[in-house]
Structure 1
Amino acid sequence: MKPMSAIDFTVAICTYNGANRLAEVLDRLRSQEKTEPISWEIIVVDNNSTDDTAKVIQEYQANWSEPYPIHYYLEPEQGLAFARRCAIREAKGTLIGFLDDDNLPDSNWVAQADHFGQSHPKAGAYGGQIHGKFEVEPPPGFERIARYFALLEGKKTYCYNEKYKNTQKKLFPPGAGIVIRQEAWLKSVPEHQSINGVSGNSLSMKCEDVEMLSYLFYDDWELWFNKDMHIYHKIPKSRFERDYIIRFFRGVGLSRYQTRMIAYKNWQKLVVIPIYMVNDLRKIIRHFIKYRTNLKTDVVAAGEMELLLTILLGFFYKNTRLSHKIN
């Protein structure tokens, strides 16, 4: 029998200037079903917000009567990787489910997430279905880039380790709604990641989730997609504006070098880097030939081109800190 103080599951919400978004997420968590057998908590990590985020949480805490508590923590070092590390440090649960402040969990999300983690002890991380909740209709061709916007749907549960075991390409669960086993993070993820992630309103470097999951993957932790976990990702119309899409994919592209190189030793990099560069150049040429007449009007094609170009340029940006100067 587990101690009365033991916590099974922590919901961690990392937020920056989320005062206008947090209430809807917390209300969804307040109405979770089938959680009676689960001992769980909610923690909010404020990544140095400049709005009323702290005040919103204080008001919820003052009027909170649920058996699972809400805790507030301030992480002054901006960057999603820092906020998530704060959550890992402060969480009392053995499983930590991360929600962004624009992620709305289904009514049984906590129950499904906890059940899956308890029944898959080798799972270091797992995500579920992420459905788009769009303010406006996405642009034509959006399905080609939907995964980059943390959208993922599927009819079957599967293990990424088996699906991509013998392939060069590695696709991991998006960070939205990802559940991390605390033991796996502490054992396999280094204290300082190369990519610190979105910082404030800057999109200069992304893919901190890919880096973190790569460490788990190459340290033999299982990564899973669980079809029974559902969240809804709110995407405002501003995300489809050309300027945002270009900056967004610039951040993704400049991060690709770090995530690619995790799998290789230093001597191996001398061999694989030229191969990657030739292949990336081939993709750029092929994409340009296919969309050359539409690059100024097709925001999806323009975003894809920015991604391909900055992936190639990313080989010259080995020092992640330089990336914060790029906007």
Structure 2
Amino acid sequence: MTEPSMTVVFSTRNRAQALPRVLNAFAGLTAPHSGWKLVIVDNGSNDGTAAVIAGFSHLLPLTLLSCPTPGKNRALNLALPELRGDLAVFTDDDVLPDTDWLVQLRAAADAHPEADLFGGTVLPDWPSPPPLWLSEQAVEFSVLYAQQRRASGPCDHADIFGPNMAVRSAIFAAGTRFGEHVGPDGTNPMYAMGSETELLRRLGTAGHRGWFAADARVRHIIRPEQMEERWILDRAFRYGVGEGRNYAKSLSLGLLVRLVAYRLAARGLAFLPPSPRRLRIRYRDRWLAGVASGRPLMPNTSRPG
């Protein structure tokens, strides 16, 4: 039997009700000429998720793994020994790929041997039209919903988003792993976001080059609660925590001034009806609070005497 040339990986937790729609989309994929493998890691589900996945074993080239200890990156690391082929494709359990998704990623990897990191288009799959106050002018849909649209071509690691990313398998064979200190772990709803971002930034800093394949498209399922202001503000905070914890050096005076200014403005706007302006200010307030929460305290730079 011919070895597949690429492996798709995602982890899931307690998604028994939603997974059939996702797995049906995967079952409709056009296989690349060299074949593919799907590895799903059940990350401690207790709702029958594993049984739902197993029910698709006759439709998909499927390997099901179990990682009982919660932690998305822990689950992804568990899957790495199962990689087959030269391309590891990572996605999420709420993604609907276009039928030619893998064909497009395979073509990009074959056509651009100079690149080790690959990304593709991510579009929101809305449950209903977004309300007027939920505007791209107010908040970054890239942060909220992993939306990514751009032309094909060389790209920075920051252009590649978790629901649609691929990495040369040789990088993992050489020992690279996902950082288990970041991302959802089932213990803290205000976890530091940025699990795939942390890995990609590390690889980009090490000199690995990226390529964006615009025709490799997936849709990211948006749940109704993800269009509510409370969820959006919580996500802004988690995003800030990840930025502060992983990339900031210290808590600066400038950040403190902005934090106070946005906090005062956000409190005043909280009593007004929803609007793009209100969302923008309140979102920025929660993001700054997250950055401050994730950053170390400002070091004492004063001189003795």
Q: TM-score, normalised by structure 2?
A: 0.83
- Of residues 84, 88, 96, the one that matches 1:92 is 84
Query: Given the alignment, which residue of 142, 149, 157 partners 1:147?
Result: 142
| Cα distance in structure 1, aligned partners of 2:70 and 2:264 | 40
Deviations 1:41-78 (A, max 9, x none): 111111111111111122222x43xxx62110011221
Please state how far the C-alpha of 1:287 moved relative to its aligned partner.
4.9
Q: How far is the alpha carbon of 1:14 from its aligned partner? A: 1.4
Q: Is 1:56 matched up with 2:43? A: no
Q: What does residue range 244-323 of structure 1 map to in structure 2 within 5 Å?
A: 244-260=231-247, 269=249, 273=250, 277-281=252-256, 283-284=258-259, 287=262, 293-296=268-271, 297=274, 298-316=278-296
Secondary structure of 1:44 counterpart: strand
What residue is the counterpart of 1:128 in the other structure? 120
Q: Distance in 2 between matches of 1:55 and 1:72?
A: 10
Partner of residue 27 from structure 2, selected from 26, 30, 46: 30
Cα deviation code 1:195-220 (max 9, x no counterpart): 14353783422111111111110111
Residue 207 of structure 2 is aligned to residue 224 of structure 1: no
1:195 lines up with 2:182 in the alignment: yes
Q: CA deviation at 1:159?
A: 2.5
- Superimposed CA distance per residue, residues 236-275 of structure 1 (whole angstroms, 9 cap, x where no aligned partner): 11012233223222221111134315xxxxxxx5xxx36x
1:10-29 equivalent positions in 2, closer than 5 A: 10-29=7-26
Q: Is the 8 A contact 2:10 2:40 kept in 1?
A: yes
**1:7 maps to which residue?**
4
Within-5 A mapping of 1:108-187: 108-139=100-131, 140-143=133-136, 144-148=139-143, 149-154=145-150, 156-161=151-156, 171-187=158-174
CA shift for structure 1 position 295:
4.3
SS at match of 1:302: helix
Q: Is the 8 A contact 1:44 1:73 kept in 2?
A: yes
Name the SS of the counterpart of 2:148 in structure 1: coil
> Which residue type is aligned with residue 155 of structure 2?
Y
Shift of 1:288: 5.9
Distance in 2 (CA, whole Å) between partners of 1:285 and 1:201 is: 25
Distance 1:172 1:83, change over 3 A: farther
* Distance in 2 between residues matched to 1:203 and 1:186, nearest whole Å: 32
Greater mean deviation of Cα atoms: 140-149 or 109-118: 140-149
One-letter identity of the residue aligned with 2:135: F
Q: Is contact 1:172-1:210 (8 Å) kept?
A: no
TM-score (norm 1): 0.78
Distance 2:154 2:48 in 1: 40
Matched, 1:39 2:35: yes
Between the aligned partners of 1:201 and 1:193, the Cα distance in structure 2 is 14
Paired residue type of 2:269: N
Name structure 2 gaps, 5 residues minimum. Answer: 298-305
- CA–CA distance in structure 2, aligned partners of residues 202 and 238 of structure 1: 15
- What SS does structure 1 have at the residue aligned with 2:191? coil
Distance 1:223 1:286, change over 3 A: farther
* Count of aligned pairs: 289
Q: Secondary structure at the match of 1:115?
A: helix
Q: Deviations over 1:145-185 (max 9, x none)?
A: 2001211112x113234xxxxxxxx8342211211222224
State the SS of the aligned residue for 1:78: coil
